[in-house]
Amino acid sequence: MKYINSASFISLLFALMFSMNAFSGHHGEGHKKGKSIVEVASSNEDFSTLVAAVKAAGLVDTLAGKGPFTVFAPTNEAFAKLPEGTVESLLKPENKDKLVAILTYHVVPGKVKAKDVIGLSKATSVQGSDIKVSTKDGAVMVDNAKVIKTDLMANNGVVHVIDTVILPR
């Protein structure tokens, strides 16, 4: 459960950051002066859990940095699917390492747009483990999560919104 909690927080943080970009209208290329992944997430309430997790994990500066990063970002609804108390537990200082592991599992180095994801069978996360990429019933899946929104652009990467928090194996 603790490992799942950490992955959930990481996913939520990334989802929050990337979803903010979608709601703020930054969907195209060339937003060098636009918002970072962190700024995009912080400006959208649908990613409040992710933002809280990123802050608790000490990843704000990293995710606001140069990048580029590809984030598979779970929504607040995705985090709500986790067992009760999981998120709260992961946000505690004593669980920071678990939280960092989960959050970094949702991040892939480089900018991988939707057209590139479709041709992949796996992607190696910043955490070090491979994320399985597949297509099921016409939808792109990352591990057990469905990609529900793609190519939310930030000045330091791209976000793909997912409906479930993914956890390292």
Tens digits of residue pLDDT in 30-52: 335 688 888 877 877 888 898 88
Residue 112 φ/ψ, nearest 5 degrees:
-110, 105
Higher pLDDT, 14 or 79: 79
Structure letter (DSSP) for residue 59: -
Higher pLDDT, 105 or 2: 105
Question: Taking 60 as the threshold, does the pLDDT of residue 3 lie above it?
Answer: no
Residue 10's pLDDT is 38
Residue 33's pLDDT is 67
Q: Both ends of the chain: CA-CA distance in Å?
A: 13
What is the arithmetic mean of pLDDT over 88-98?
Answer: 94
Higher pLDDT, 130 or 41: 130
Higher pLDDT, 64 or 109: 109
What is the arithmetic mean of pLDDT over 74-96?
Answer: 93
Contact yes or no for 162/79 (Cβ under 8 A): no
Report the alpha-carbon angle 54-59-62, nearest 5. Answer: 135
Residue 63's pLDDT is 86
Of 132, 121, 120, nearest in space to 168 by CA? 132
CA–CA distance, 114 with 116 (Å, rounded to integer): 5
Domains and CATH numbers, the chain: 2-162 (2.30.180.10)
Tens digits of residue pLDDT in 147-156: 998 888 899 9
Question: Taking 70 as the threshold, does the pLDDT of residue 117 lie above it?
Answer: yes
What is the arithmetic mean of pLDDT over 61-77?
Answer: 91
The most confident of the ranges 2-16, 27-41, 47-61 is 47-61
Q: What is the pTM of this model?
A: 0.78
Task: Indicate the range of 92-96, 104-108, 112-116 predicted with least confidence.
Answer: 112-116
